[in-house]
Each structure stands twice: as structure tokens, then as C-alpha cells.
Amino acid sequence: MSRGDLGPEYRKLWAASTVSNLGDGVTVVAGPLLVASLTRDPVLVAGIAFAQRVPWLLFSLVSGALVDRLDRRRLMVVVDVFRMVLFGFLGLAVLMDFVSIPLLYAVFFFMGTAETLFDTASVSILPAVLQRDCLEKANGRLLGGQIVSNELAAPPLGGFLFAVAASVPFFLDAGTFAAAAALVLFMRGNFRVERQEGTPPTTLRAEISEGIRWLWGNRLLRTLAVSLGIMNLTMTATISIFVLFAQERLGLGSLGYGVLLTSVAVGGIAGSLAAERLVGWLGAGTIMRIGLLIEAASTSVIALSHEPLVVGVMLALFGFHAIVWNVVTISLRQQIIPERLLGRVNSAYRLLGLGGMSAGAILGGVLARGFGLTAPFWFASLSVTVLAVVVWPILSNETIRATRENAPSASVQ
């Protein structure tokens, strides 16, 4: 994928993101397969997604405040080194055959905790690398690279490697984190928020409160954060049991399951390439309205289908919508949030947006156990339909245009 003229520091960030997402994508496939090899209980299978997502409820606000206090580049390096050690240990545990469900839950809990720091820092660091008017282009290419590695190349690779030896995917993930840490380490620039002279020291609690107040006072971002939380809750309810859906309803093995997941990547790649043009053509508000309709329709079709091809097409459509939505909303946050508050406001946004994923994981298992494997998909379709009706008036091009025009510069000067 061409990275254009966005500069050498962006290229390092792009490469680090792409290579680490390859390892993450392999683990996303291998982790559920490993759990499914230990138990067929939908709730226990869904528990690994809960363990990974619950740290967003527990630690995201503290992580955001730390991102605004510390050097964001160094923080990303430290977290990647920690994740390298963590997945190296998991690979060794699988290789030595002392892996268990509690151990997997612990590893994925620590992985999720690390993500609260790394993901907040990676979103907050980009405005320090690029000019404000390049953010939609840069985010589109960054997400495009992630999709190619995480969702296109990694799923079949993860399924294949797990079939060869269950420990290999986790060793590969550890290696990609090591490579990503090295790339970020050599980024040049100032990635720490400079405090004005004479500013009195504040407590972590006061800084967190300031970020929450700013987010809640912005009607558009508040609406987007709550909307993301509902969509992620319903999406995780389906993803948490999808390995069982693919195996028992669609009749797929580990390799077929991995290949099916690449459908999301195919749609996502198209979305990453089209997002910038779609924003200019339709406007951000119209794009998000259409995205809600796509999400509601695609999950209902999946619930009705027994055919892998039909499910694959719906996953591709969902992937297109998801990436375009992310490009629009991430760029919007980077454009309108003051630079000194980026970590805290982004963490509060992600608390609302991603915190529900932990509940969604458990809910998906409970619904599947009680009402069948299609129940989480019907729940997702109905919930997003209601959401679309409620937020439709707010997600207008006029509202977004006014919010951008009234925002202070979010970029580091």
C-alpha cells in the first residue's frame, strides 16, 4: 500500500502498526481456537473476549491521563516490549502443555490492560506527526495497513499456524511486538505535552475529571461515544461466539474459519481507500447514517444464513462500514480535541465506546447458550436499528461542520 508523502515519521508509525497488527490478527484467530479446544461451553469461550475488554472499564481513564503526562512514543515502546514478553510466555505455556483457561484469561486480561495505554497513545500521537488537514488521509492509510495485516493476511495464517502447532501463533505475535517497538523507538520528534510555565501541579484525579467534562460537554462527541459503545457491545456479542457459529452452523474447520474472517478485511480495505473521497462527496454525517443501516442489515442476514459465502459477503459489507466510520470519527476527534487533552478525552471516549465490549462478550455467550447461536446476531440487528432512529437527527453534516469550525487546533505547533 502506498504511503504517499506523509513523511518518514509517519512511515515508521505505519510500519510499526502494520507489523504488530499482523501478530495481533494471528492471535485473534488462535486465541478462540485454543479456548474452543479446551471447552465447548459458549460462556467460557466468550470469556476470553471479556477478559481482554474489561480493562477498558477499569483502567482507560487512568491510561488517558498517563498518556497526557508521559512521552507518548516512549510509552508505546514500553508497552510493546511488555506485550512481547507476555505472548512469548503464552507461546511457551502452550508448547509445554501447561496452558489452561484461567491462564488464558489472565494473559488476555494483561493484553487488554496494555491496549488501554497503547491504543490511546497511538491515536493521540498522530497529530504531532502530521498537519491537521492530512489526518483523514493518514488515518485511512493507517487503518488500511492494519486491515491488510490484521484481517486479510493474519486470519488464514493464524488458522494454518494453529493447525501446524498451537504455540506458533503466539510466538509470532511476540516477534511482531519486538519489531514494532524498534520502529517506534526511532521516531523523531517531541511527543510529550509541554505544560505552560507557572502552571500549578494537578492530581491525576483532577486531570481525568477535566477530560470527562470536556467530552460530556461536546454533544457530537458524546453522541458518537455512546453510539460506539452500543455498536461495540452488540458486535462483541456476535464475535465472542463466532468461532462456534462458524464451526457448528456453517460447518467450517479452523482454516475455513480463518478464511471467512478475511471477508471483513476485504471490505475494510475498500473502505480505507474510499473513506477520504466519501467524506468529500457525501459528508461525514451522511456516511455515519448509512453505516448504521448497513450494520443493522448485515447482522440480520447473517442470522438467517447457513451459507459461508453469504456470511462472507455480509462480513465484507460490515468491514467497509466499520473502517469508514473509524476514519471519520478518529479524524474528527483529532481535529477538535485540544492537544493537551487528547489522551484524556480519547480515553473517556473509548471507555464509553469500548467498555461495553466486555459486557457484550458475556452477553453473547449467555444469549447463545439460552436461545441458540443466532440469538446474538438478532440482538445486534435490533439494537442498532433502534440506535439509528435515536441518533439520526444529531449525525448531520451541518452539526459536524459547525463542530469542526468552532474547535481549537488539536495539532502540536
The one-letter amino acid code at 255 reads L
pLDDT band at 133 (very low <50, low <70, confident <90, very high): low
Residue 317's Cβ-count burial label (10 Å; 0-12, 13-18, 19+) is: buried
Q: Does residue 194 form part of some domain?
A: no
Q: Does residue 198 form part of some domain?
A: no
Q: Nearest CA to 53 among 374, 388, 360? A: 360
Q: Does residue 355 register a pLDDT over 70? A: no
Q: Does residue 266 register a pLDDT over 60? A: yes
CA atoms within 13 A on the CB side of 313: 8
The one-letter amino acid code at 12 reads K
Q: Does residue 196 form part of some domain?
A: no
Q: Does residue 412 form part of some domain?
A: no
**pLDDT digit string (tens) for 150-166?**
767 777 788 889 889 99
Residue for grid cell 461466539: 241
Please tell me the predicted confidence (pLDDT) of residue 274: 86
Q: Does residue 2 form part of some domain?
A: no
Per the confidence metrics, is the pTM higher than 0.85?
Answer: no
Q: Indicate the number of domains in the chain.
A: 1
Q: Dmax of the chain from CA atoms?
A: 66
Decide: 79 and 69 in contact? Cβ < 8 Å: no
Please tell me the predicted confidence (pLDDT) of residue 381: 94
Q: Does residue 171 form part of some domain?
A: yes
Q: Does residue 411 register a pLDDT over 50? A: no
Mean pLDDT, to the nearest integer, of 98-116? Answer: 91
Q: Does residue 97 form part of some domain?
A: yes
Q: Indicate which CATH number applies to the domain containing 154.
A: 1.20.1250.20
Residue 296's Cβ-count burial label (10 Å; 0-12, 13-18, 19+) is: buried
Helix (H, G, I), strand (E, B) or coil at 88: helix
Q: Which domain holds residue 132?
A: 8-188+203-405
pLDDT band at 26 (very low <50, low <70, confident <90, very high): confident
